[in-house]
Amino acid sequence: MRRVIIKDIGEKKDILTAPFVLEMERTTANMYRLGWDERNGGNVSYLLDEREVREYLDLNRVIRTMPTGFKATELIGKIFIVTGTGKYFKNVQSDPEANLGIIRIGKDGETAELLWGYKDGGKFTSELPAHLMSHAARLRVDPENRVVIHSHPTYTLAMNYVHELDERKFTHTLWQMCTECIVVFPDGVGVLPWMLCGTNEIGEATAKKMEEFRLVIWGMHGIYGAGKTMDETFGLIETVEKAAQIYMLTAHLPRVNLIKDADMVALAEAFQVKYRRDFLDLDEA
């Protein structure tokens, strides 16, 4: 099949006004403000629409190339805006060009072509392989998936130390904490044990979980979330964190009231969401 190359014609818009850059600025600022991403903790990747990017950048101009450390065959040609390694989320708004980068996955699937950003010679997050694997896994499930966020929400992380790291039990507890939980993440939360971060092994394990969950706990480390939009993905993590906060504030106290499993079923069915019935304790008799 002949490849058609569309030339970039005309004056480009200012990249710093691009909606996807502004979204990254707002989201990373919020995550830092909430205490989810201390120092250079956490990372975000956002799959972009090539037509939209073309309004701001000459896609034929590659600043430099970088090996990704992973062969992302399914993502060849796709463009992402990604937070940089060693970068602090608190600095993204004041200097997005140093703290963010727009990359395209090269024809070999193993190279990132830098189209904009990382102006100080930096590069993408060390967790890029895990992000790319998660994007590929979620796109197979939902072709509209565009965002992967990794962060270290305080109460979610604290809950890891006092609750069994079993995804059925962990999900069930979270669902019991807030009425909205089973509606917001009816597919539940996947859970991984502690693993060495920045490796392809943890990326592969996360991607496997992403085949059935949009949220994956990294034991004693943080959480991965995936979604169609930045708001959806941020909201998923935000809801888990709120539920974990309530759990941690009440775990040492006697439980007088609980949201019953039958109530959660009623909720899920009222909102017409497909929920993990096997994550509930129901009397099938």
How wide is the angle at C-alpha 238 spanned by C-alphas 237 and 242, nearest 5°? 115
Active-site annotation holds for 204: no
Report the DSSP pairing between strands 100-105 and 64-67.
unpaired
Q: Which of 127, 167, 238, 241 is catalytic?
A: 127
Nearest to 151 by CA among 235, 273, 60, 275: 235
Nearest to 184 by CA among 139, 132, 104, 243: 243
In the beta sheet, which residues pair with residue 113? 65, 104
Cβ neighbours of residue 187 under 8 Å, at least 6 residues apart?
212, 213, 214, 274, 275, 276
In the block, tokens 């991607």 appear at: 207
The token pair that represents 282 in the structure block:
């129901």
Reported for 256-265, long-range contacts at CB under 8 A and 24+ positions apart, including other chains, are 258/176, 259/175, 259/176, 259/177, 259/179, 264/175, 264/176, 264/182
CA-to-CA distance for 94 and 52, rounded, in angstroms? 23
Alpha-helical segments (H) within 37-196? 50-54, 96-99, 128-141, 154-160, 167-177, 181-184
119: left (phi over 0), alpha (psi -120 to 50) or beta: alpha
Nearest to 74 by CA among 11, 132, 156, 141: 132
Q: Where in the sequence numbering do the catalytic residues fall? A: 127
